[in-house]
Structure 1
């Protein structure tokens, strides 16, 4: 639905900037769903979740900026290194479960949980991109 870039706030904080593809940005139904996703993401707070920093859902090119997580997606790690050892998998599953509990506590359902939406960072995994 879009392209994600590394950017920075005016204060120098790194952010992941998701720019919506032009064809989606011109679709009123898509824009409605994107705005719904942004509202949901702003409600969710907790460990192993990436907070929304800023957004614009009504401009000519809708976008969403979230805190930048340095690391790689779980699907990339699996492709590069193969199966993870149990000592790594158990904490990963626990962190993902804790993130999902926070998401559900906010009244939100993650509609796109998959290995590409789990980032592996030096300080642990993060669940990203709630899907629309």
Structure 2
């Protein structure tokens, strides 16, 4: 995509994430998609559709989509604004449960984030501590477009829904279609994790 890779930020089930930047110097998080996912029948179309959908969510609690790969490009990739912040999962692992005041603040902010996603006509489908960045100004809910495209692909291939154990709604866990109510369940499970360090 013409964006230089400045360093590796991490890796997960979808692929790797790199620090990059635009020609003007704006920092980006550039996620590359694993080749085996990219080669799944129909994944490319779902990926493009879901990223466009994700870009419809204009909210202070989500990251801005900057660019993504053209059809047919390998590896497929997604560039979003870079938020220099730990995930909720990382924070809880390092420091333990959130204090009560911070927990209540996080709950209110994330309710706003989930509401913004739903008002755009979307469901996140993978709300978990690793998908919440604890930025200094407010938390950011990340990764819903890519997670949904991958979940659709796995559901088609395996006949079951794949998500994050411990944060799946019961209907997701048995292979049902995840929608807004499942997001609310996952948010509650995430807040239990933030409050207790478990879950």
Q: Any unmatched runs of 5+ in structure 1?
A: none
**Relative contact order: is structure 1 or structure 2 higher (C-alpha 8 Å, sep ≥ 6)?**
1
Give the total of aligned pairs: 132
SS at match of 1:83: coil
Alpha-carbon distance in structure 1 between the residues aligned to 2:101 and 2:122: 30
Q: 1:95 aligns with which of 98, 106, 109?
A: 109
TM norm structure 1: 0.94
1:6 corresponds to which residue?
A: 19
Alpha-carbon distance in structure 2 between the residues aligned to 1:37 and 1:5: 21
Deviations 1:47-105 (A, max 9, x none): 21111011115122211101101110000101111100011011111111111111111
Q: Any unmatched runs of 5+ in structure 2?
A: 1-13, 149-199
TM norm structure 2: 0.64
Alpha-carbon distance in structure 2 between the residues aligned to 1:14 and 1:77: 22
1:129 corresponds to which residue?
A: 143
Higher strand share: 1
Larger Rg: 2
> What value does the CA root-mean-square deviation take over the aligned residues?
1.1
Query: 1:16 and 2:29 equivalent?
Result: yes
Alpha-carbon distance in structure 1 between the residues aligned to 2:30 and 2:113: 21
